[in-house]
Amino acid sequence: MNRRQAYGREPLALLFPHTTGGQMCFQNTVRFGEGAMLYGFKLEDKSVTHTTISFPDASKKKLTSAEQNSSKCASLKERLNSYSSQGLRTLAFAMRLINKEEWNRFKESYDFYQSKESFPVMSISSNDRDLLLSQKADEIENELQLLGVIGIEDHLQEGVQETIVALREGGVQVWVLTGDKLETAENIARSCGLFDSHTSTKTIQKREDLSTVGNGRAKAVLCYRMTPSEKAEIVKLVKTHLKASMACDFAIPRFRFLRRLLLVHGHWCYDRLALTFLYFLYKNTEDWLRGFELKNVPVKECFINSYRNGKTADNCSDVQPIVVGVLDQDFSAQDLLLKPALYSDGRKGTKYTYQLFAVNTLDGVWQAAVVYYISHSVFDDEDCGLWLFGFYTATGMMLTNAAHLALEVRCWTAAVAVIFVVFIGIHFAYFLGYGLVAQPGWLLDPPVHVANDAVLTSDFWLTMTITTVIAVFPR
């Protein structure tokens, strides 16, 4: 625009593109002489066959769609197809000189159709407005003089081909939406790894073509000749039929980053969440059932007094799975990048199923029974205080939780090992410290030195060992 101004050409308008499936035109109008307008076009190559065009040396002879057998039109189409087969984006340029009055009439009507005021006045929808805009543009898009055609090479970003190939190997269905013609779109799709020479493809151009596809799920979908609004509709339609939890939008500056984002971090995220959810399902089942067993014995008092109900000791077995869920890895990042098929485990939901839900629930029932009844058998023939029995069961549950989680860890690191040692130490430090500072005036029967005396006996450590081994033996 600035260059035309430098040469004394005053720009008048730059119209937005209008499309009707097979037609896409971008217009630019400048003042060219007194009372004359130069109406210039950038046309998609397919639009050439839909518009009345004259060649510079054809003595103003018009070529319509019925006269496409002429040598010049055939040569033009051959050149366009040649560019498309090379993966180039093709454009045709045309122009027309119009008078000022004709331009003003067209511009006034066109602007009205584009404005929002036309909606209530004409009672039309957005789709109807697009059709009216296209029909209005057709009135002036005739008797054009062809200036030439060009092919534009659009380089792919670095790593696009490797990323698309990896996503396909991981079972991800890739959709490519483009405004290019079919030949150009297919060439680009093959160059970026969306298709290969062994891929069976189906071309759908009409509704009747859908019957040839069958009920199978396509590994990749290429949509060509798409306008921006049609692209938005396709994205909305695809997301509507996906699970809400699986439909996400990613805005990334480089397409190659998507490979690591999905195949590595996406896999780790799903795996860690599944591990954490299943562990807490098992742990809460065990904790609830053990409390149910303790409260339904003949005595009318809970075996775990208020200092246990404060949940301080419970936190020792709650923090560990959270830390493991943040740090654990079933596969290294390098393995996940080299073997994209590993991503299919998360995509298919194989790590959080009804079977695993049932197994972890039964595991919690089993371990709750083991912790309670083994501790109960130790004091079967002798007297036992409520707080001593509560300390046995609380410690047994904490150790079985830790052992269960240790079996679930796939990637042992120094941080994970330290977390296990630290929170087991906190558990004993809490009970031992409370036993030392507890005073008779605090409760009717305070747990004075209960834990301190228990840890000095061999029966306690033997019971904890047997309880832990039997509880996690099914694992």
Residues 21-35: tens digit of each pLDDT:
444 455 565 555 555
Only one residue has tokens 């030949």, namely 183
**Number of folded domains that form the chain:** 3
Q: Are residues 309 and 429 in the same domain?
A: yes
**Which range among 155-164, 212-221, 297-306, 411-420 has the greatest average pLDDT?**
411-420
Please check the confidence at residue 248 and state whether its pLDDT lies above 80: no
Range(s) of the domain holding residue 16: 2-152
Mean pLDDT score, 199-205:
79
Of 246, 279, 314, which residue constitutes the final position of a domain? 246
Pair (296, 404) in one structural domain: yes
63 pLDDT higher than 70? no
Q: Of 204, 343, 371, 173, which is closest to residue 283 (Cα–Cα)? A: 371
Measured CA to CA, the distance from residue 241 to residue 175 in angstroms comes to: 14
pLDDT of residue 242: 65
Same domain as 167, residue 85: no
Among 82-91, 307-316, 408-417, which stretch is predicted with the lowest mean pLDDT?
Answer: 307-316
- Structure confidence at residue 464 (pLDDT): 93
Report if residue 26 sits inside a domain: yes
Name which of 204, 254, 197 is nearest 225 in CA terms. 204
Whether 224 contacts 305, CB under 8 Å: no
Q: Is the dihedral of CA 461, 464, 467, 473 positive or negative?
A: negative
Among candidate residues 20, 16, 10, 13, the one with its CA nearest the CA of residue 46: 20
- Using pLDDT thresholds of 50, 70 and 90, give the confidence band for residue 69: very low
Query: In terms of domains, do 294 and 193 share one?
Result: no
The mean-pLDDT minimum among 200-214, 237-251, 438-452 falls in 237-251
Phi then psi for 440, rounded to 5 degrees? Answer: -55, -30
| pLDDT at residue 9 is higher than 80 | no
Q: Counting every residue, how long is the chain?
A: 475
Same domain, 338 and 234: no
393 shares a domain with 458: yes
The residue among 388 and 8 whose pLDDT is bigger is 388
Last residue of a domain, one of 196, 215, 246: 246
* More confident position, 390 or 343: 343
Name the nearest CA neighbour of 40 among 61, 9, 67: 9
Residue 229: the pLDDT is 81
**252 belongs to a structural domain:** no
**Co-location of 168 and 142 in the same domain:** no
With 90 as the cut, is the pLDDT of residue 264 above it? yes
109 in the same domain as 84: yes
The model's confidence at residue 173, banded by pLDDT at 50, 70 and 90, is confident
Statement to judge: residues 137 and 205 lie in one domain? no
Report the distance separating Cα 387 and Cα 302, nearest Å.
9
The answer as to whether 251 is a domain residue is: no
| 340 within domain boundaries | yes
